[in-house]
Amino acid sequence: MASYSSISRSLKYDLYGMIVHEGRYASLGHYCAYVRDPSSWYKLEDEDFSLVSIQEVLKQKAYILFYERHAVNMKTPPYYFCSALEESNDDECHTQGIIL
């Protein structure tokens, strides 16, 4: 399991969205979102949206960030951690254990 749970290379993530609070207090203000498609960023406010530059996105004070992890190439099949005996089937592992 060590080779499956400890990846030798670092994982890579891409930012694809964020929530920003505009206002001084959480109870007073407005939330908006910035989201990315493959080549552009957009600001979404209520029913409006507009194209924005990456410079505008980077100067925001984000409240929540959303990332997408790059795919990891795994050379071995998943390891099933199961409290049942080794001869148990996969269905028992799904209900009694954790799939890693």
Q: 88 pLDDT exceeds 60? A: no
Q: What's this model's pTM, rounded to 2 decimal places?
A: 0.61
* CA atoms of 31 and 79, how far apart (whole Å): 42
Q: pLDDT band at residue 4, thresholds of 50, 70 and 90?
A: low
Residue 12: what are its φ and ψ, rounded to 5°? -120, 140
pLDDT tens profile 5-60: 555 567 889 999 999 998 888 788 899 999 999 899 999 999 999 999 999 999 99
